[in-house]
Amino acid sequence: MQNPHDAIRLVDRFRYRENLEIEKYVLPNGLTVLYWPDFSAPLFSFQSWFRVGSRHEVKGRTGIAHLFEHLMFKGTKNHPEGDFDRILESFGGRNNAATWLDWTYFYDDVPAGFLNEVMALEADRLVNMSLCPEEVEPERQVVMNERRERVDNDPSGRLSELLWQKALGDHPYAHPTIGWMEDIAAISLENCVDFHRTWYSPNQLVLSIAGAVTREELFDGLLKYYAPIPASKPGFAPELQQTPPARSATYEERFPLTCERLLMGYSAPSVTDPLYPALEVLNELLFEGDSARLQRALCTDGEIAGEISAYVPAFKAGGLYEICSELRPDHHAEEALDVLFKAFEQICREKPAQSELDKAKNKLESRFYRGLQTMQQRAQGLGFYEVTAGDYHRLFELAKSYSEVTLDDLQAVAQRVLNPNARTIVIGRPSGEPACEEEEA
Amino acid sequence: MIVVENHGFPYAYLVLNFRFGPAFDPLGKEGLTSLTNRMLLRGTRRRSREAFEEAIESLGTEVNTATQSSSVSISSAILSRNLERFTQLLGEMLTEPLFSPEEFEKVKREMRAEQEAMLNDDSCLARIWLRKTLFPGHLLGRNAAGTPASLDAITLDDLIAHHRTYYTKSNLLVTSSGDVTQAHLEQLLQDAFKNLPEGEPTAWNLAPIAPIDGRQLWVIDKPERTQSQILVGHPAVQGNDPDLLALNLAFTGFGGTFTARLMQEVRVKRGWSYGAYARLVPERFGGFCILSAAPERDHTADCIALLLEEYERFAREGLSDDEIEFARNYLINAFPFKIETAAQKAALQTYYALMGMPEDTLDRYTDRLKAITPSALRRICKERLTPDQLTIVTVCEAEPLKDAFSQLKHIRKVNLRSYLDEK
């Protein structure tokens, strides 16, 4: 007699180190499953990574991927609104979700022994959502408030939104994941139902499970809850192009600020690009830690800025390498730009010292280990790279690649990314003075 | 010393905790603790600041300093192959700090710039005002970052004396986790810290905390706000209070999870705020409770009224039996997440120790939670929570909300301030 588990096909087994092995399975309906068993603590993380993010949205309906992430916590045909969280919390679980350019993911961190319950809930909301206006409207208000909090009333959020919009033109990464306010207001119930039907199906999904889960209980749950769900026709998405060179321009906004803020973006390589690890090493050397070149030049010694930081994006199609600085009072963004440009010219012209490279590699190695401590981090690492890079191995390859980066690689990536003719700059400058008085009630 | 071993990956965490805090800054010299802690990273008698930074970071680590209300800490994560070299550098940093006048002035300038930058962050601004209005006139109400005037008043001699008094073996609690053994670490630190003075343990004999005079509304006016930050709080339990666990259970049910009462009322039913929480913030001395929400500007007064109404009901009646059981099960079942990794377990044990809790707190956590009866929980809520004596801080655009604020009931005083007042 055939074993029902045979329907779950092992496609890959990866041994990273002793007692640390990852398995990848595929079900006939296209569902991908990543499994990292670890019984060192009585808990596990169960994550659902959908291959849909804000880059799949159409004009006039930006924000729907994120709004829908919120709506996934509403009622289904089997569970009224609130049940999902109540059931998970009743056995000590915690959950949340996030949406970004390339993906939407949901996590459930749960004590061991509750896998069956979690899979029942997750598979249920994959197919049985029962959206109604009474649930959508308050959630739309919540999302609008989230936008007010993270963007409209936060200068960093507003500058970041402006940067991506201006730098990337019509690219699907250009609009904000949270959506434009007028689009959030305009999304209809029908749009949401369509979105769910199009993108929330097993062939668009990667399950990533790390922790105290046996293979047998995982397989039982997959067969019982996920295998019966049919695959759907993938939604239409135009072929994703690499982000173009950032538009060469400078923009200014005024806010009630006490000091200026600067944000600058360069087009970055994709997370799968061979030069990507070199950019991470370069970033370390330039910006990370007290001894980094620009920490000293701008903050500690230069005393022009209070903060300088940079962010290497990890996206399928590149995105923007963002450099952000908060100026000190009485200093201007132009002073920081001058220092930054000189430092970039230098790194493009002269190879750094071997000791700088070694230091950066050591720090990245340490950071890699720190990023794999909890079951949530592990499941997240696997799911993220499977969906974004098309292969979870990229998580471990990157860690290894840091040690192989050479001084030539650093110079090559600097010359490619830090292009003086392709950078977008946004500056936030102070405006307005409020009143001050006191009154008795 | 607290050590939790896990040899799965080749690195370890090391945290040096010193048991004092900004409450021990002399009056008029606020910011001294924070300044002293940061100056430790600015070079040693053997190495300039630059050379010290290079020595630390070439080992693949960074050292972070933090000034909390109950302790100051110096923390790092280090590849275990570099642990010995790293502990030597830490010893050098603690016992032979350079404290150069140039770096002293530089750090002061940095801190002044940070004070200004904090005004640009509404939630940070709200937290500064909350502390100030929770403990008016008390040492605990001061901003750990100081003020421009207090930083000006601090001399290098103040800093050297502060370092000598508080960075001592008596005040030190070392926490480590990961790829490290207690015996090896003890040996390393014994050698590296041999010149650290013994000193006297800090006595936390601060003045008693006075209750707040009625309900005080603090409106921190900031232009161009389409959303308001709201914090409500009052002094509550300190870290070693016998009622702490019962109150923690109560606050979990009231506002500690997504299904808790407050989140349901503010976010799920009304869609007024992305988040709405209530929690306890116990400290080594003092401590407080806090409710938070961030509504659209036009809902600010209504949201404050709702928070006050819900809090009053919670304080007077506590939770229902079902709510208590739900919150209790949640806390018990979720406990493994608090000690999932060696670092988390070590951090939790450290927290208990810094708060002055008994050594068996971690082991008895579940049993003690199970022993709390609903009637005891309701009695403790009634006795310990003060819904008529609290501070309400809102960072918002004040002018359009003046009328709505004046309609709020049972507010003793509305205090209007500019967000630039902290400048």
Which of A67, A369, A377, A429 should be substituted to probe chain B, the one whose Cβ sees the most B Cβ atoms within 10 Å?
A369
Which residues of chain B neighbour A363 with C-beta distances below 8 Å? 57, 60-62
8 Å CB contact of B417 and A436: yes
| Contact status of B270 with chain A (Cβ, < 8 Å) | yes
Which range is least confidently modeled, A75-84, A428-437, B243-252? A428-437
| Contact status of B105 with chain A (Cβ, < 8 Å) | no
- Averaged pLDDT, A265-281: 96
Last-in-domain residue among B192, B224, B250: B192
Shortest alpha-carbon distance between residue A14 and chain B (Å)? 17
8 Å CB contact of B53 and A153: no
Q: How confident is the model at residue A432 (pLDDT cuts 50, 70, 90)?
A: low
8 Å CB contact of B419 and A434: yes
Which residues of chain A neighbour B110 with C-beta distances below 8 Å? 299-300, 303, 306
Is B355 in the same domain as B230?
A: yes
- Averaged pLDDT, A424-432: 90
Which residues of chain A neighbour B50 with C-beta distances below 8 Å? 291, 296
Is B252 in the same domain as B166?
A: no
Is B25 in the same domain as B111?
A: yes
Q: How confident is the model at residue A172 (pLDDT cuts 50, 70, 90)?
A: very high
Q: Give the residue on A whose Cα is nearest the Cα of B331.
A: A92
Q: Give the residue on B whose Cα is nearest the Cα of A110.
A: B334
Is B141 in the same domain as B241?
A: no
Is B61 in the same domain as B141?
A: yes
| Contact status of A306 with chain B (Cβ, < 8 Å) | yes
pLDDT at A433 over 80: no
pLDDT at A434 over 50: no
Which residues of chain B neighbour A258 with C-beta distances below 8 Å? 116-117, 119-120, 420, 423
Here the tokens at position B196 are 């650290």
Written in H, E and C, the secondary structure of chain B is CEEEECCCCCEEEEEEEECCCHHHCCCCCCCHHHHHHHHCCCCECCCCHHHHHHHHHCCCCCCEEEECCCCEEEEEEEEHHHHHHHHHHHHHHHHCECCCHHHHHHHHHHHHHHHHHHCCCHHHHHHHHHHHHHCCCCHHHCCCCCCHHHHHHCCHHHHHHHHHHHCCCCCEEEEEEECCCHHHHHHHHHHHCCCCCCCCCCCCCCCCCCCCCCEEEEEEECCCCCECEEEEEEECCCCCCCCHHHHHHHHHHHHCCCCCHHHHHHHHHCCCEEEEEEEEEECCCCEEEEEEEEEEHHHHHHHHHHHHHHHHHHHHHCCCHHHHHHHHHHHHHHHHHHCCCHHHHHHHHHHHHHHCCCCCHHHHHHHHHHCCCHHHHHHHHHHHCCCCCEEEEEEECCHHHHHHHHCCCCCCEEEEEEHHHHC
Q: Give the residue on A whose Cα is nearest the Cα of B106.
A: A300
| Contact status of A330 with chain B (Cβ, < 8 Å) | no
Does residue B202 lie within any of the structural domains?
A: no
Does residue B209 lie within any of the structural domains?
A: no
| Contact status of B295 with chain A (Cβ, < 8 Å) | yes
Q: Of B6, B77, B406, which has the smallest distance from its Cβ to A370's Cβ?
A: B77
Does residue B164 lie within any of the structural domains?
A: yes
pLDDT at A374 over 80: yes
Split into its structural domains, chain B has a count of: 2
| pLDDT value of position B157 | 98
Does residue B198 lie within any of the structural domains?
A: no
Which residues of chain A neighbour B120 with C-beta distances below 8 Å? 155, 255, 257-259, 261, 326
Q: Give the residue on A whose Cα is nearest the Cα of B229.
A: A149
| pLDDT value of position A18 | 77
- Averaged pLDDT, A392-398: 95
| Contact status of A377 with chain B (Cβ, < 8 Å) | no
Shortest alpha-carbon distance between residue B204 and chain A (Å)? 34
Look up the CATH superfamily of A4-226.
Answer: Metalloenzyme, LuxS/M16 peptidase-like (3.30.830.10)
| pLDDT value of position A1 | 56
Give me the residues of A, 390-429, that contact B with CB < 8 A. Answer: none
Which residues of chain A neighbour B122 with C-beta distances below 8 Å? 153-154
| Contact status of B114 with chain A (Cβ, < 8 Å) | yes
Is B290 in the same domain as B403?
A: yes
| pLDDT value of position A237 | 75
pLDDT at A238 over 80: no
From CA A269, how far away is CA A417, in angstroms rounded? Answer: 8
8 Å CB contact of B11 and A255: no
pLDDT (tens, 9 = 90+) of chain B, 423 residues, equals 999 999 988 999 999 999 999 999 999 999 999 999 999 999 999 999 999 999 999 998 989 999 999 999 999 999 999 999 999 999 999 999 999 999 999 999 999 999 999 999 999 999 999 999 999 989 999 999 999 999 999 999 999 999 999 999 999 999 999 999 999 999 999 999 999 999 999 999 899 999 999 999 999 999 989 999 999 999 999 999 999 999 999 999 999 999 999 999 999 999 999 999 999 999 999 899 999 999 999 999 999 999 999 999 999 999 999 999 999 999 999 999 999 999 999 999 999 999 999 989 999 999 999 999 999 999 999 999 999 999 999 999 999 999 999 999 999 999 999 998 866
Is B13 in the same domain as B114?
A: yes
Q: Of B11, B61, B406, which has the smallest distance from its Cβ to A441's Cβ?
A: B406
Is B98 in the same domain as B235?
A: no
CB B33 within 8 A of CB B22: yes
DSSP-assigned letter for residue A62: T
Which range is least confidently modeled, A256-260, A280-284, B290-294, B367-371? A256-260
8 Å CB contact of B267 and A433: no
8 Å CB contact of B272 and A145: yes
Q: Of A141, A359, A441, which has the smallest distance from its Cβ to B413's Cβ?
A: A441
8 Å CB contact of A436 and B416: yes
8 Å CB contact of B224 and A145: no
Give me the residues of A, 353-372, that contact B with CB < 8 A. Answer: 355, 358-359, 361-363, 365-366, 369-370, 372
8 Å CB contact of B224 and A432: yes
| pLDDT value of position A435 | 36
Here the tokens at position A422 are 């392709």
Is B67 in the same domain as B139?
A: yes
Helix (H, G, I), strand (E, B) or coil at A208: strand
Beta carbon pairs, A and B, within 8 Å: 216
Does residue B24 lie within any of the structural domains?
A: yes
Q: Give the residue on B whose Cα is nearest the Cα of A261.
A: B117
| Contact status of B191 with chain A (Cβ, < 8 Å) | no
pLDDT at A441 over 50: no
Does residue B144 lie within any of the structural domains?
A: yes
| Contact status of B197 with chain A (Cβ, < 8 Å) | no
A340-361: b (≥16 Cβ within 10 Å) or e? beebbeebbeeebeeebbebbb
- Sheet (strand B390-396) strand order: B273-282, B287-295, B229-235, B390-396, B215-221, B413-418
Q: Give the residue on B whose Cα is nearest the Cα of A365.
A: B60
Does residue B199 lie within any of the structural domains?
A: no
Which residues of chain A neighbour B60 with C-beta distances below 8 Å? 359, 361-363, 365-366
pLDDT at A4 over 90: no
Q: How confident is the model at residue A84 (pLDDT cuts 50, 70, 90)?
A: very high
8 Å CB contact of B57 and A366: no
Q: Give the residue on A whose Cα is nearest the Cα of B295.
A: A145
8 Å CB contact of B116 and A433: no
Which residues of chain B neighbour A152 with C-beta distances below 8 Å? 226-227
Is B108 in the same domain as B239?
A: no
Which residues of chain A neighbour B56 with C-beta distances below 8 Å? 290-291
8 Å CB contact of A148 and B223: no
* CATH number assigned to the domain covering A249-430: 3.30.830.10
Which of A373, A377, A429, A433 should be substituted to probe chain B, the one whose Cβ sees the most B Cβ atoms within 10 Å?
A373
* CATH number for B33: 3.30.830.10
Which residues of chain B neighbour A41 with C-beta distances below 8 Å? 336, 339-341
| pLDDT value of position A234 | 75
Average pLDDT of every residue of chain A: 93
CB B132 within 8 A of CB B218: no
8 Å CB contact of B227 and A437: no
| Contact status of B416 with chain A (Cβ, < 8 Å) | yes
Is B245 in the same domain as B322?
A: yes
pLDDT at A166 over 50: yes
| pLDDT value of position B23 | 96
Nearest to A136 by CA among A75, A196, A85: A75
Q: Which domain holds residue B297?
A: 215-422
Does residue B210 lie within any of the structural domains?
A: no
| Contact status of B227 with chain A (Cβ, < 8 Å) | yes
The separation between CA B275 and the C-alpha centre of its own chain, rounded to angstroms, equals 20
For chain A, give every residue range classified as CATH 3.30.830.10: 4-226, 249-430
Is B173 in the same domain as B37?
A: yes
